[in-house]
Chain A
């Protein structure tokens, strides 16, 4: 590959090869090599960064402003840290209406308040018309570690908990693009996951927010790291009827749809009931479900399996490339 293609940014295999082959090869060090969502710095601080490039910048349920705060906040939460301080870098394309910018900044302000973080430093650049897609935002975040994720302690019988319905962010963005002539009442699920922080003290061994690649990709990545398999039950997975409808029309599997305010947790069996009922008390966790468990009797180590609605069993693989609507 001599030119960077769009496919590289999609989060699939091409991106992973790029990270291994180019980034780690040139910059690798003990922190980076871990490839975690946040780095754990020696001062018991977690540090993370993310860039936000979304088209369109406004969609039902949020905008690039809500995204850039919540995305980084959530990376900290699932790493075992309490989100505290963010930086905010704006790269604005010449010609962006100031009203749009004001709207985005208001979203950032509201989202920050909700997530309990402060924007402490930042930067603004303006690029020529045509050299940027309206606005690109980068946020970096830090916060004190309150727990250490312990995936190495995961064992058979541990439960997989999903905090809510899948795929609404992805579909909301697709719909906002006006693609495919679809109309549906779907709002992005973009939200801060701070309400999950107390569960670190209730035995939670591992957490991950479900972003690009969807539930299947996130759980596949976990399965690959442990000497067991993971089985999830399709009928337990919460999906709104609108999501079910839109994804079936487009032929897209909801297990691969990105979210921006949902997470999956691995919790010991004896704590799962308690965590689930507490989670459901929060408005963002109302639809939480135990969707599966870690297994050592079915499948091979490293596999993610789905027990289907019809009683079959199939392998779920990680997303290898951009999710596409199909006709076939």
Chain B
């Protein structure tokens, strides 16, 4: 029992650390003026979230989070931020005066509402947790679910990814005329691949 409670204390400690890291990095993302730092803060956020997923017995999702989000999405973000170049703006400036007040009120209201509801239900339906077995959250279970119960979601998601890839290519397509115009504006001769 002591070791069980020790395990519990450990879990609590890990949870506290991960949770605060999560919240802090979230605030950091929206507060930094330099987008590069914001992106780095987001990476921290993703990592702490992965820890929280582990605590919730979602091992596969945690791994996917780190690999997909951290390894792919954030890398892309950093690439683009680097490409765009240095840009700093004061975080809370501009816009109509009621925008700030309204935003704080709306976000605050959302947060308070959710917390209140959760608090109200904490002793009711949120008190009894389901019993799960050890294969819960394992890759085999995820794979089985994807290919049996949620096959449609699986397929549709893959189509969405395909569409996004196509969209990305089209958005990034450098038309000849544009590049020629750009080159003329800069006063250089347009270079073509291979020359």
Say if A and B assemble together. Answer: no
Interface of A toward B, CB cutoff 8 Å: none
Interface of B toward A, CB cutoff 8 Å: none
